[in-house]
């Protein structure tokens, strides 16, 4: 029997109407930031919510509900990385959740689409080593990025 990891996802409130299709597809297929898990590992979504909008009021409460539902890892959705502008509080959210709740936080969900990579490359958004570290788990090969356009 394979291991099951229970996951919570927090999305940017700008995308609160998002149907979650890309994130759920990538969870099911172990793509994007979900590629960090073994292919035979079952990933179970146990919570899904928004940050609450700037400055992120739900970050204080939503992880607790997810953990009560068994979340072992919380993913901060790719929208926080690729939005215009990317979330300026993403590092604080990660640090706060890990410190307050003692749960691992991963930056990203679905693969960064190629169109976003092209735009942010032209803008120079992700040129710094800090941003390269933030996007690394959600930045797959070009064919996968194109498939998520």
Segment 89-115, tens digit of pLDDT: 999 999 999 999 999 999 999 999 999
Number of folded domains that form the chain:
1
Instruction: Give the DSSP letter string of 38-85.
Output: -TTSEEEEEEEEE--STTTGGGGTHHHHHHHTT-SEEEEPTHHHHSSS
- CATH number for the domain that contains residue 107: 3.40.50
**CA 73, CA 7: separation in Å to the nearest integer?**
5
User: What are 73's strand-pairing partners?
Assistant: 7, 104
In the predicted model, what is the mean pLDDT of the chain?
94
Segment 37-75, tens digit of pLDDT: 999 999 999 999 999 999 999 999 999 999 999 999 999
Residue 65: its pLDDT value, please?
96
Which structural domain range is residue 57 located in?
A: 4-147
Instruction: Give the DSSP letter string of 38-51.
Output: -TTSEEEEEEEEE-
Model confidence at 142, pLDDT cuts 50, 70, 90, reads: very high
In Å, how far are 46, 67, 95, 124, 139 from 102, measured between CA atoms? 17, 10, 10, 33, 26
**CA 108, CA 10: separation in Å to the nearest integer?**
10
Residue 16: its pLDDT value, please?
84
Residue 60: its pLDDT value, please?
94
Model confidence at 20, pLDDT cuts 50, 70, 90, reads: confident
């Amino acid at each position: 029997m394979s291991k099951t990891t229970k996951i919570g996802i927090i999305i940017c409130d700008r995308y609160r109407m998002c149907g979650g299709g890309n994130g759920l597809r990538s969870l099911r297929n172990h793509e994007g930031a979900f590629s960090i898990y073994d292919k035979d590992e079952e990933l179970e979504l146990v919570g899904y919510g928004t940050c609450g909008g700037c400055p992120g009021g739900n970050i204080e409460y939503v992880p607790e509900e997810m953990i009560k539902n068994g979340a072992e890892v919380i993913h901060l959705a790719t929208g926080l990385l690729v939005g215009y502008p990317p979330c300026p509080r993403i590092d604080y959210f990660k640090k706060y959740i890990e410190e307050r709740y003692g749960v691992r936080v991963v930056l990203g969900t679905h693969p960064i689409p190629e169109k976003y990579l092209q735009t942010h490359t032209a803008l120079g958004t992700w040129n710094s080593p800090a941003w390269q570290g933030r996007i690394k788990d959600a930045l797959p090969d070009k064919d996968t990025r194109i498939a998520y356009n």
